Amino acid sequence: MIRTDVLVIGAGPAGSTAAKHAALGGCDVILVDKKSEIGAPKRCAEGVSMGGLESLGIKPNPQWITRKIEGVRLVSPNGTSVWLTSEKVELPEAGYILERKVFDKHLAMDAARAGSRIMIKTLARGLQRVDDGYIVDLETMGEEFQIKARIIIAADGPESRVARWAGLKTATKPKDMESAAQFEMVGVEMEDNHCIEFYFGSVAPGGYAWIFPKGDDIANVGLGVLSTRTNKSAYEHLLEFVEDCPATRNAQPVELNIGGDPVGGMPKKLVTDGLMVVGDAAGQVNPLTGGGIISGMTGSMLAGRVAAKAMKDNDTSKERLSEYEKLAYESIGKDINRYLKVKDYMLSLSDDELDSIAEAFKDVEFEKISTTELVKKLVKVSPRALLKLGRLF
């Protein structure tokens, strides 16, 4: 049996960040991932704010940046476009499109350099609680073995099995799980390939479609839908979007990604004795945009630091680990809850109402480009939005 202070299950951005900060705090850390290659296949549109990464102590690296973003294009159901570009509006922080297959490995390497031991192609099969931690059953290349850990950090994505094994109710309700499908495509003909594009309305019921450029004619083209809003799969909606959108009619797919995105917010309980849940497994995703890289890494950084302090205190109880829960709700939970209300409001809008908002936005002066700024302007142009959201923004 292998013994360690902290076992992190799942080596996505959240898991690697948790492992890094637990190791930096002096813990013996093991980071396991079921995949043969960390970062593959990718599970998102790969957009991120550089300010968010810098807040986590990560400096930009051209090895994992494919495109600098200089603006946003919003497209309503009838094709009305609202352009927010750095030429007209302040861009408070640079946005980048990542190469997740490289970025995720970079984070795992950071965790290793901090002292974490990494085990790939290693699947957690189950766990049992013992007096001073957990014994976890794992399998790698057909061989079964066990790890005894004082603390487990569950970073195993949406529908976390690890959290469920520990008795935490973190499962996302079907109405709060976006089904997403995405092509990486070549031959994409964007009007401005330094702007990210969002398409709203019935093109993606319950969500939106996106085009995120990765090069002059290369882009991630995808969408997310809520199954409660459509009888079609996300893939079927994606095929229709690609066929109808002028930018993608002549493009060819080179990669397909399909997955789920939890947009229901964080569950109330993120910890139990000897265990914390982070990242997508903890619903640390902006429910309005579906983005979860920065928020998940922020929560994971906090969990790693709390794990290190708990080990120094020789106290891994639920009460001691609840510090992470409090910090997570303070740092990211409040914003997630605000954007939940915005998401619910957006779901109530018809295509005609979205077209009207887009028309009104064309006459609005934006001070800067950010999600919060967009919501503030929405409140100004829509009496209904003012009624629903005015107190929040």
pLDDT in tens, 189-235: 999 999 999 999 999 999 999 999 999 999 999 999 999 999 999 99
pLDDT in tens, 347-384: 999 999 999 999 999 888 887 778 888 899 999 888 88
State the pLDDT confidence band at 51, using cuts at 50, 70 and 90: confident
Fold of the CATH domain 68-95+174-262: D-Amino Acid Oxidase; Chain A, domain 2 (3.30.9)
Question: Which residues make up each annotated binding site for FAD?
Answer: 14, 33, 44-45, 47, 100, 124, 280, 292-293
pLDDT in tens, 267-312: 999 999 999 999 999 999 999 999 999 999 999 999 999 999 999 9
Question: Which residues make up each annotated binding site?
Answer: 14, 33, 44-45, 47, 100, 124, 280, 292-293, 371
Task: Domain 2-57+99-171+264-344: give its CATH code.
Answer: 3.50.50.60
What is the phi/psi pair of residue 25, to 5°? -85, 5
Q: How many CB atoms lie within 10 A of CB 364?
A: 12
Q: Examine the pLDDT at 86 and tell me if it is beyond 90.
A: no
Q: What is the mean pLDDT of the chain?
A: 95
pLDDT in tens, 15-39: 999 999 999 999 999 999 999 999 9
The CATH 3.50.50.60 portion of the chain extends over 2-57+99-171+264-344
- Calpha distance 362→168 (Å, rounded): 46
Return the axis-axis angle of helices 351-361 and 371-381, rounded to nearest 10°. Answer: 100
154 dihedral zone (left: phi>0; alpha: psi -120 to 50; beta): beta
DSSP H helical segments within the chain, as ranges? 13-24, 50-55, 100-113, 161-165, 234-244, 293-313, 318-328, 334-347, 351-361, 371-381, 383-389
The CATH 3.30.9.10 portion of the chain extends over 68-95+174-262
- Calpha distance 218→376 (Å, rounded): 32
